[in-house]
Amino acid sequence: MQTQQTIGQSVSMSGVGLHSACPSQVTLSPAPPDNGIVFRRKVNSHVETCQALIRNLRPVELCTAIGSNGFQIQTTEHVLSALWGLGIDNAFIDIDSEEVPAMDGSAAPFAQLIQLAGVVPQARPRTYLKIVEPIHIRNQNREISILPAPLPKITYTIDYNHPLIQQQTYEHEWSAWNFQTNIAEARTFAFSREIEALWDRGLGKGGSLDNTIVFSDSEDGILNEEELRFPDECVRHKILDLIGDMSLLGTHVVGHIIANKSGHDLHTQLVQTIMDNPDAWILLGPEKDQTDVSDLIPVGKDSVCLTPLA
């Protein structure tokens, strides 16, 4: 059993949004125990807030967005993955736009920012949600499950018709060291044949070879000058996204997540399904012998309740 953690000081980073192409600055700041991860944006003299929780999920394509109290933030998954992957339970994320900057397309810049700020233990035990009954979600040939397990673990499989990807499977045992070493640097990816269609849908307008791996139609590889950081970088990035999306549960999970050709929609549907099935889990922690999360997950006064996903 570990204590909750925050960061030691405020640290900032600027870039452009992957989909909006708008300039964006984020500042990570310490937060008190039981605060959770909260986005903030100052509008005139008013500060709007949005908790990074599944109840605040907003429907968007190709990224994870949350919104409440008058504003929406999209492409939250990479900064949330860095915080959750490095074991940060409580932090404020101040942002001056509606999209988190893409940086290099991975979680590494955010992880480096957290390391610069320092990780600070807090005098409050962490509570864990332990899976005791399997949960399965399937959508045609895409599926995701979470099974009882003694420790947190992710097994992810992808399959793309490209010679540099094809079928990849990676198993990630959840720890801050493993995240920093094996997951954080994996970048988002796209295919050159799909880029114009993305632009037509108003997506990927801030994408570039500096923040996205672009796979060419030919068999000789990628358009980027930088080579792949890992031979299986694509599946590692999917795990990165999954960690960020799972943070919307608001507490750390003890279970084995198995994903096959999944994506943001199934990731967040898994989070919602866990919330909707309290018989499938128990809480582990001081005086936690019940399946009540009302005192575990903070509820903002203006938060929006999300109905179960179809």
114, two tokens:
């957290």
The length of the chain, given as a count of residues? 310
Query: Does residue 136 sit within a domain?
Result: yes
**295 pLDDT above the threshold of 70:** no
- Please say if 237 is a catalytic residue: no
- Closest CA relative to residue 274, chosen from 44, 22, 53: 53
**Across 44-48, 212-216, 274-278, which has the greatest mean pLDDT?**
274-278
The answer to which of 45-49, 67-71, 192-196 has the lowest mean pLDDT is: 192-196
The answer to whether residues 247 and 276 belong to one domain is: yes
pLDDT at 24: 94
The answer to whether residues 141 and 100 belong to one domain is: no
Query: Does residue 297 sit within a domain?
Result: no
Query: Does residue 303 sit within a domain?
Result: no
Query: Does residue 310 sit within a domain?
Result: no
The answer to whether residues 140 and 241 belong to one domain is: yes
Q: How many domains does the chain have?
A: 2
pLDDT at 182: 98
Query: Does residue 289 sit within a domain?
Result: no
Q: Which of 172, 237, 252, 264 is catalytic?
A: 264
By residue range, what is the domain housing residue 243?
128-284
The answer to whether residues 137 and 280 belong to one domain is: yes
Model confidence at 205, pLDDT cuts 50, 70, 90, reads: confident
pLDDT at 169: 98
User: Cβ(190)–Cβ(214) under 8 Å?
Assistant: yes
The answer to whether residues 240 and 159 belong to one domain is: yes
Report the percent of the chain where pLDDT is more than 70: 91
The answer to whether residues 92 and 121 belong to one domain is: yes
Rounded mean pLDDT, 154-175? 95
Query: Does residue 186 sit within a domain?
Result: yes
* Structure-token match 């096959």, residue found: 260
Question: DSSP strand E in 161-240: where?
Answer: 166-173, 189-191, 213-215
**192 pLDDT above the threshold of 60:** yes
The answer to whether residues 135 and 237 belong to one domain is: yes
pLDDT at 71: 83
* Structure-token match 């394509």, residue found: 61
CATH code for position 191? 3.30.1700.10
Global pTM reads: 0.90
pLDDT at 136: 98
Helix, strand or coil, per DSSP, at residue 272: helix
Domain boundary among 125, 149, 165: 125
* b/e sequence 2-29, b meaning 16+ C-beta within 10 Å: eebbbbeeebebebbbbbbeeebebbbb
pLDDT at 61: 80
pLDDT at 70: 77
Q: How does pLDDT run across 28-44, given as a tens digit for each residue?
A: 999 999 999 999 998 87
The answer to whether residues 117 and 132 belong to one domain is: no
**304 pLDDT above the threshold of 50:** no
The answer to whether residues 112 and 225 belong to one domain is: no
pLDDT at 289: 46
Query: Does residue 245 sit within a domain?
Result: yes
The answer to whether residues 121 and 142 belong to one domain is: no
pLDDT at 297: 43
Q: Is the dihedral of CA 44, 88, 266, 24 positive or negative?
A: positive
Domain boundary among 125, 148, 167: 125
pLDDT at 302: 32
The answer to whether residues 27 and 160 belong to one domain is: no
The answer to whether residues 159 and 260 belong to one domain is: yes
CATH code for position 84? 3.30.230.20
